[in-house]
A and B are shown apart, each in its own frame.
Chain A
Amino acid sequence: MAKKKSKKEDIRMVENLELRSNKVLISINPKFYDLDVVYSSLYNFLEKCYCKVEGDPNDEILVELKPKKKIRNLERMGREFNNELINYAAVKIRGLKTEGMRIEIVKRALTSHQPIKKEGTNAEGKNIEGINMPWKGEP
């Protein structure tokens, strides 16, 4: 019986990218990039790729991008992902820096809303003695 030759897949390493024939694996340092940054970056690739996330959040995260349609330049796609990591990491940094300010703005916006007070009534619209008076219009 003839033995089947196993086709050895060409694997090329470029920085944190493992380039295979039909997909790219991206190695990410979870101590440098938070998991939510990784997921945010991945979101933009969901439409054009089948994506996987594997690994250990304490050691190394592996993101696999497998294009839905065959593309020539997998390295470019891996590098686009690296660029997205930086973009979302920067968004998070800016968000953290302005968090206090944003909370304060929302607090002020909510506390500055006061109900309209009618003459002779308290804040709830009842007359001052606390008795709701029915409206008596002229015939």
Chain B
Amino acid sequence: MSMNTKVVINFDTKLFKKEHIILAAQDYTEPCWVLVDGSEDSVSAILIPKDGEIEKEELKDEFYNYVLATVKNY
């Protein structure tokens, strides 16, 4: 399991609801190992690609975009 492409993304709960991040994260559970946790102030999502072929920065940006899309659509 490649730990080099571990991506950690933090979200401020003033701007993002925990529900949006969880819903977005659900769609990433197939290509990645995902951990989402947080507190009242912030929510963190940790993503690790299962096959290690995804670029770290690209994954981070894609996930962030996906959360934004979830905010819009949910």
Residues of A within 8 A of B (CB): 15-16, 29, 31-32, 73, 75-76, 79, 82-83, 86-87, 89-90, 93-94, 97
A residues less than 8 Å from B25 (CB atoms): 86, 90
B residues less than 8 Å from A87 (CB atoms): 26, 29
Contact A86 B39 (CB under 8 A): no
Given contacts A32-B18, A73-B1, A90-B26, 11 further A-B contacts (CB under 8 A): A16-B35, A29-B37, A32-B37, A76-B1, A83-B29, A86-B36, A87-B29, A89-B22, A89-B26, A90-B23, A97-B74
Please list the 9 inter-chain residue pairs (A to B) with the smallest Cβ-Cβ separation, ordered nearest first.
A79-B33, A90-B26, A83-B29, A93-B19, A82-B35, A89-B22, A86-B25, A90-B23, A29-B37
Partner of B26, one of A15, A32, A86: A86
Contact B35 A93 (CB under 8 A): no
**Complex Cα–Cα for A89 and B57 (A):** 26
Q: Is residue B67 contacting chain A, with contact meaning CB distance below 8 A?
A: no
B:35-66 near A, CB below 8 Å: 35-39, 46, 48
Contact B22 A93 (CB under 8 A): yes
Q: Shortest distance in angstroms between B74's beta carbon and chain A's nearest beta carbon?
A: 8
**Complex Cα–Cα for A135 and B49 (A):** 77
**Complex Cα–Cα for A75 and B1 (A):** 9
Contact B37 A86 (CB under 8 A): no
Contact B22 A83 (CB under 8 A): no
B residues less than 8 Å from A90 (CB atoms): 22-23, 25-26
